[in-house]
């Protein structure tokens, strides 16, 4: 039986080589399953029981899966000599595949390394992902050159020399990547943007928190929960606003005006001053102001029988003083930051009185609640100073005017 098999193999060498090849493949499959189901499981078990999470992240499934393919490829390469007719071909293909697996393993390792760095407090706000992606691109380029040179049987350096003529084409192909890499370096060096920053990029309609910074794009989650993706280099080309300074300061600005009808502005009468004196926040102001004005007018022999002579209190000035005292007594207003209650230039909409102060919180909900409460009070208290808020005539105003005309007729 043995002699007949040997004779058959001598007469049909192709059959013999196919049998040998199938035997090698069988050994490779066995090696794959042994590596995957025994060796890699032991490594995973060991990794899980270590105290640090570093090895869990670096040796994740993607890395170990690539490693499990290397063992069967080595088996095939070792037994390729048994098939002389295709031995060289097998060596070339196996070497090329091993190069590919090494590239993918390094890429998976770098992915895990990115996750490790992103968890470290020192690198949490740095665009580490972008830099790792650059390293990956370099690995892929050089790995690709080695892979092609292995298949062609040429030196990698000779292949690289030939590719130098394609430099202009490569620069054109990787233009955006190169620009984004330079932008990432600038962003990191000047600390322009970090993950978690609130930024506004009007050109792209982005207004929200930065949730990811990679080599090519920056992802921003807008306040309506939509995602805006901006090329990294575009962020450097165009202007944007970063609200991080506001967050770090601990206060958020209120900058809003209320418009006073200028026809309601007038000098205060004694009756008005007496009324204002009963307002608790104005007691000290009225007392000091009356003494100051009286002293000024007496020193200059002012004839106060004429309203325009000397100095007098006005309802709008008293109202502004009231607003200062009202804001000063609020515990949610930061007194250590800019604090202004001022007039802006009057215009067609009346006299703007601007509130320019900072809250003690940067939380959006709390900030809006504080701002609303302040202006609720301001709008309600204005009539107490015999002032009117300016607004354009409404349908109700026109209706009232028409009814008044009818009554006159």
Q: Could you report the per-residue pLDDT of 55-87, keeping only the tens digit for each? A: 555 555 566 666 777 777 777 777 766 776 677
- Predicted confidence at residue 259, as pLDDT, reads 95
Average pLDDT over residues 96-108: 82
| One domain for residues 198 and 140 | no
Answer yes or no: is 309 within a domain: no
| One domain for residues 54 and 151 | yes
For the chain, percent of residues with pLDDT exceeding 90: 31
Higher pLDDT, 312 or 10: 312
Contact 223, 170 (CB under 8 A): no
Higher pLDDT, 188 or 159: 188
Average pLDDT over residues 278-288: 93
| One domain for residues 142 and 230 | no
- Predicted confidence at residue 409, as pLDDT, reads 62
Answer yes or no: is 405 within a domain: no
The number of distinct structural domains making up the chain is 3
Q: How far apart are CA 219 and CA 214, in angstroms?
A: 8
- Predicted confidence at residue 1, as pLDDT, reads 47
| One domain for residues 166 and 231 | no
| One domain for residues 211 and 345 | no
Answer yes or no: is 183 within a domain: no
Confidence of residue 384 (pLDDT cuts 50, 70, 90): very high
| One domain for residues 214 and 347 | no
Average pLDDT over residues 385-389: 94
| One domain for residues 47 and 159 | yes
Answer yes or no: is 180 within a domain: no
Answer yes or no: is 296 within a domain: no
Average pLDDT over residues 327-345: 94
Question: Which ranges of 35-127 would DSSP assign to H, the alpha helix?
Answer: 40-48, 54-58, 61-78, 87-119
Q: Which of 36-40, 56-60, 139-143, 310-314 has the lowest mean pLDDT?
A: 56-60
Question: What is the CB-side half-sphere exposure of residue 201 using CA atoms within 13 A?
Answer: 24
Confidence of residue 402 (pLDDT cuts 50, 70, 90): confident
With both helix axes pointing from N to C terminus, report the angle between 283-299 and 270-277 in degrees, rounded to the nearest 10. Answer: 140
DSSP state of 268: P
**234 phi and psi angles, rounded to 5 deg:** -70, -30
Confidence of residue 145 (pLDDT cuts 50, 70, 90): confident
| One domain for residues 141 and 25 | yes
| One domain for residues 235 and 139 | no
Q: How far apart are CA 400 and CA 287, in angstroms?
A: 41
pLDDT reading at 328 higher than 90 = yes
| One domain for residues 126 and 27 | yes
- Predicted confidence at residue 168, as pLDDT, reads 62
Domain CATH for 232:
2.30.30.60
Choosing from 173, 199, 219, the residue where a domain stops is: 173
Choosing from 119, 142, 173, the residue where a domain stops is: 173
| One domain for residues 154 and 11 | yes
- Predicted confidence at residue 326, as pLDDT, reads 96
**3-class state of residue 111 by DSSP:** helix
Answer yes or no: is 271 within a domain: no
pLDDT reading at 365 higher than 70 = yes
For residue 223, the enclosing domain spans 191-248
Contact 153, 92 (CB under 8 A): yes
Maximum CA pair distance of the chain?
142
Answer yes or no: is 181 within a domain: no
Confidence of residue 8 (pLDDT cuts 50, 70, 90): very low
Residues 6+ apart with CB under 8 A from 111: 60, 62, 132
- Predicted confidence at residue 310, as pLDDT, reads 87
Answer yes or no: is 151 within a domain: yes
Domain CATH for 258:
3.30.70.100
| One domain for residues 95 and 202 | no
């Amino acid at each position: 039986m043995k002699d007949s098999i040997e004779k058959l193999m001598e007469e049909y060498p192709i059959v013999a080589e196919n049998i040998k090849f199938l035997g090698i493949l069988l050994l490779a499959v066995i090696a794959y399953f042994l590596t995957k189901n025994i060796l890699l499981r032991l490594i995973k078990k060991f990794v899980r029981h270590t105290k640090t999470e570093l090895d869990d992240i670096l040796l994740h499934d993607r890395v170990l899966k690539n490693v499990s393919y290397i063992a069967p490829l080595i088996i095939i390469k070792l037994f390729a000599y048994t098939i002389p007719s295709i031995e060289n071909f097998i060596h070339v293909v196996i070497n090329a595949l091993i190069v590919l697996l090494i590239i993918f393993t390094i890429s998976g390792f770098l992915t895990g390394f990115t996750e490790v760095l992103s968890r470290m407090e020192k690198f949490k706000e740095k665009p580490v992902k972008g830099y790792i992606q650059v390293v990956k691109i370099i690995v892929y380029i050089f790995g690709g050159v080695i892979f092609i040179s292995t298949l062609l049987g040429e030196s990698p350096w000779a292949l690289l020399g030939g590719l130098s003529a394609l430099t202009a084409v490569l620069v054109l192909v990787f233009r955006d990547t190169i620009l984004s890499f330079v932008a990432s370096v600038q962003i990191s060096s000047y600390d322009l943007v970090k993950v978690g920053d609130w930024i506004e990029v009007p050109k792209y309609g982005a207004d929200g928190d930065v949730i990811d910074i990679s080599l090519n794009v920056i992802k921003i989650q807008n306040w309506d929960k939509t995602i805006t993706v901006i090329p990294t280099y575009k962020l450097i080309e165009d202007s944007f606003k970063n609200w991080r300074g506001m967050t770090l300061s601990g206060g958020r600005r209120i900058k809003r005006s209320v418009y006073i009808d200028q026809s309601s502005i007038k000098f205060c009468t004694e009756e008005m001053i007496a009324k204002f004196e009963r307002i608790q926040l104005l007691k000290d102001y009225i007392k000091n102001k009356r003494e100051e004005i009286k002293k000024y007018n007496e020193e200059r022999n002012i004839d106060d029988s004429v309203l325009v002579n000397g100095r007098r209190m006005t309802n709008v000035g008293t109202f502004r003083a009231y607003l200062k005292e009202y804001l000063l007594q609020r515990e949610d207003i930061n007194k250590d930051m800019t604090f202004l209650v001022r007039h802006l230039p009057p215009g067609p909409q009346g006299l703007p009185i601007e509130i320019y102060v900072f809250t003690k919180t940067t939380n959006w909900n709390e900030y809006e609640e504080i701002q609303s409460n302040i202006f609720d009070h301001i709008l309600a208290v204005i009539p107490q100073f015999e002032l009117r808020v300016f607004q354009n005539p409404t349908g109700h105003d026109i209706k009232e005017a028409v009814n008044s005309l009818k009554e006159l007729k």
